[in-house]
Amino acid sequence: MIKDGQSLLPTAEKDPDAPDVHKIASYCPQCRWHIDVVVDCRDKNGKTRRCRTPESDFLLHHFVYDDKDANGAVGLGSQHAARKYTFTCSAAQCPVKVHIHMKPPHLSDHDIETLTNKAQLRKRWEDAKQMAGDRADAIMARSVDGPDYLNTYLMDALNPVKGKARIPLFNKKFLRTFGRDCDSILQRLGFTTELEVEDDPSSRVWYLPRPAESQGLLESTLRNTIEDTRYELNTIILKIPESDRVGARQTPLFPTPAGAHLERALACDNCVCCSCLSGAH
């Protein structure tokens, strides 16, 4: 599925290879991996005839794997490591290279279990009552609440509003939903915590992440991490039965497929050769 805010999309109105660089930022709603496809011809090195243009003899790019940029994602745990693949068009005068960046989810299966497991939520609620007494919430959190509240906090971090930068640990909904079990999740996403009164646990507060403004769509930043995590949370929320999502703060997003953008960037949209190979006529 496409991530519009992180993409430099080709347009249908002109030659799809005309700009010097395109980026198709996408993610998979099944495995939650993030896939960036960058089609780049900024380093022309004397090559001036891109495939599928009037001056070229070739209707399609022919991409060959370039192992000089291999990232060495091998060994124990490598299936969860980020990786990069580079391909170069084999046409002698074509400057186009394709870089594919694959990044694992920011939220692991263990993180999701921590946020949504009903037994863990009940234990967290019991702990909240021990910690806060009468100030604790009267009902336990639902499975949707953790992903939904975290999604809201991250949205507020991307669009700062005065008065929404801090969350007291003893906030009823926060304490019953996250407690202290989710500290590592929050810290990995850029949240920070401190005691406002020394030696007083009830004064602990969390501060939202402070991502810098975007410095360019080709760079990986904390802002990208937060945006990516929101896409993952959206996927997690949509997998929870609709009847259990009633009253959620965030309305689920229904993103669009990235396929057409990828085809345009790779200059193979509406291609007769591709249609014949696929059996379409």
What is the DSSP secondary-structure string of 38-97? EEE-S--TT----TTSTT-S-SS--EEEEGGG-----STTGGGS-EEEEEEE-STT---E
Structural domain spans, the chain:
4-106+256-278, 117-244
- Give the residue from 62, 56, 66 showing the smallest Cα distance to 15: 56
Residue 16, pLDDT above cutoff 90: no
Sheet holding 21-27, edge to edge: 21-27, 34-40, 97-103, 83-89, 63-66
DSSP code of residue 8: B
- Tell me: pLDDT of 130 over 90: yes
pLDDT category, 273, cuts 50, 70, 90? low
Residues shown for the chain = 281
pLDDT tens digits, one per residue of 74-108: 555 667 889 999 999 999 999 999 999 999 999 99
Phi then psi for residue 176, to 5 deg, are: -75, -25
Residues 6+ away with beta carbon under 8 Å from 82: 71, 73, 101, 102, 103, 104
Please report the pLDDT score of residue 48 as a whole number: 83
pLDDT at residue number 45: 85
Query: For 38, phi and psi rounded to 5 degrees?
Result: -110, 120
* Bridge partners for 35 per DSSP: 26, 102
What pLDDT was estimated at residue 14? 53
The predicted structure's pLDDT at residue 198: 81
166: Cβ contacts below 8 Å, ≥ 6 apart: 205, 206, 207, 208
Q: Is the pLDDT of residue 257 over 80?
A: yes
Tell me the torsion sign for CA atoms 105, 111, 113, 115.
negative
What pTM, to 2 d.p., does this model score?
0.88
d(CA 169, CA 179): 7
Tally Cβ neighbours within 10 Å of residue 259: 13
Distance of CA 99 to the CA centre of its chain: 18
Burial readout 168-190 (b: 16 or more C-beta within 10 A, e: otherwise): ebbbeebbbbbbebbeebbeebb
pLDDT in the model for residue 255: 86
Yes or no: say if 139 and 121 are a contact pair by the CB < 8 Å rule. Answer: no
DSSP category for residue 6: G
pLDDT in tens, 182-232: 999 999 999 999 998 887 878 899 999 999 887 777 778 999 999 999 999
pLDDT digits (tens, 9 = 90+) for 150-175: 999 999 999 998 888 999 999 999 99
